[in-house]
Amino acid sequence: MENSTNEADYWREQHAKQPYADKSKTFEQYEHAYRIGAEGAARHGGKPFEEMETDIALEYEKGRPDDALPWDHARPAVKAAWDRIGGVISPRDPDRGTRSGI
């Protein structure tokens, strides 16, 4: 992914603000999740996360570093990165505004 450094920088800054961010875990333990989510969204552009979740989960676990979180804990971070690349605006993404009606 061309902007992987930019994505890592973005998530390093935004991670602690996310509702799923476990304060007892480091950003580095979530970093693989953000990378897989962003790369997956870029590769499967336009497809819903839920449609590709099984493949993404397998990819995540296959390449998971020893210190990275297991899939069930990392899933929200993977989906957040997927949504960011896919253009889904989240209420927890202050740089992108909020959806009307929230």
Query: Tens digits of per-residue pLDDT, 22-64?
Result: 999 999 999 999 999 999 999 998 899 999 999 999 999 999 9
Q: Is residue 46 part of a domain?
A: yes
59-62 CB contacts, 8 Å cutoff, 24+ apart: 60/32, 60/33, 60/36
CA-angle at 33, arms to 58 and 95, nearest 5°:
140
Query: By mean pLDDT, which of 67-71, 75-79, 81-85, 88-92 is the weakest?
Result: 88-92
Q: Is residue 50 part of a domain?
A: yes
Q: Is residue 95 part of a domain?
A: no
Nearest to residue 64, comparing CAs of 93, 31, 91? 31
Q: Is residue 18 part of a domain?
A: yes
* Helix/strand number for the chain, H first, E second: 4, 0
Say how many residues make up the chain: 102
Number of domains in the chain: 1
pLDDT at 75 > cutoff 80: yes
Domain of residue 24 covers 4-90
pLDDT at 98 > cutoff 70: no
